Amino acid sequence: MNKLVAVWVTVLIGVVVVSVAATNYYFRASLRERVIVSTTTSLYDTELLDAVEKEFEAKYPIDLNFISVGTGIAIQHAQRGDADLILVHSPPDEKNFLTGGTGVNRKIIAYNFFAIVGPETDPADIQGATPLQALSKIMENGRNGTAKWVSRGDNSGTHSKEKSLWAAAGFSYANVSKESWYINAGSGMGETLKKADYFEAYTLADTGTYLKYYKDGLITLKVMMEQEKDLLNVYSAIAVNQTLHLSVNFNNAMTFIKWLISEEGQQIIEDFGKETYNQGLFLAAVKLLKENTDSTIAQWIKDYAYFDGTECPSQYRVGYSELYP
């Protein structure tokens, strides 16, 4: 009988300890304010945001919640007031987001390059060509039945970049996208890469997602060209205007943006992936632009992603003057 009582006492203590721990956890969680970040899939799929979230939440009583979608849909979430800020990579769409009145306090946080990737056999013989020459060759070989192209087709930043490249190469995207060799995936970067691999086709990919999927053995596609000016890929953080959507968590969203551009945040971005891939998947942009540490790349970013000579024209800035010295 005594043994039975002792067992029940032990069980009861265990239940109490677990209950207290759970209560403490949920109490602490309730004290954390939530910030919703609508983000492009490349930042999410590479797991960079996992690393960012871990370090940021350890420092601030803020719970980051990420919605991973293409840039176009990310902006739609913010326009409806369903996100507190966006992390995206399509300067033309970002400019419209600002001028439309929803976005404020844009900061460029990182960059890398898009890459045209394809099967090792390279049926269109694009290795060594410029990006625009490559698209011409892919089209020619596509029409001959010897090559295919897979597009994200999802109104993402990558999709927008692809459309701009077809235009720069002198082709109508509306016409190109209707041809039989052109495959519209209508999905995120990872699924698009896997579909291109399946069809032994070419596609445009951000370097970060490509490296992760290649390293993980999910695709066999090879990089045909990268680090060209025409393939520059720039990531920005933009807060949602609190005067337009009163429900947004503006100040905490700005706390997150300020952390992303801090030395700590920039170092996490710069270092991410180096141990696994022997190179960073993303490159920090703040110091580069501020100190002009690589004048060529800095000018490329300014040419591609600045509006009226700045990352955020003054009329789209709300407080936080320290962001724009």
Q: How far is CA 203 from the centre of its chain?
A: 17
> Looking at residue 86, what is its pLDDT?
98
> Looking at residue 227, what is its pLDDT?
82
Residue 185 parent element (H or E):
none
**Cα–Cα distance, 136 to 149 (Å, whole number):** 12
User: How do residues 126-179 score in pLDDT, each as one tens digit?
Assistant: 998 999 999 999 999 999 999 999 999 998 999 999 999 999 999 999 999 999
Q: Give the bridge partners for 37, in sequence order.
A: 66, 85
> Looking at residue 30, what is its pLDDT?
47
Pairing of strands 62-69, 222-226: unpaired
> Looking at residue 2, what is its pLDDT?
57
Query: For residue 76, with 0-12 CB atoms within 10 Å meaning exposed, 13-18 middle and 19 or more buried, which class applies?
Result: middle
Stronger pLDDT, 52 or 12, i.e. the higher one: 52
CATH classification code of 32-112+233-307+317-323: 3.40.190.10
Integer-rounded Cα radius of gyration of the chain: 23
Instruction: Work out the mean pLDDT of the chain and round it to a whole number.
Output: 90
**Cα–Cα distance, 205 to 39 (Å, whole number):** 17
Single out the residue of 114, 178, 186, 176 nearest to residue 152, CA to CA: 186
The neighbour count for residue 153, using CB atoms within 10 Å, is 18
User: How do residues 53-111 score in pLDDT, each as one tens digit?
Assistant: 999 999 999 999 999 998 999 999 999 999 999 999 999 999 999 999 999 999 999 99
pTM: predicted TM-score of the whole model, two decimal places: 0.86
Class of the CATH domain delimited by 113-231 = alpha beta
Q: Where in the chain is the domain with CATH 3.40.190.10?
A: 32-112+233-307+317-323, 113-231
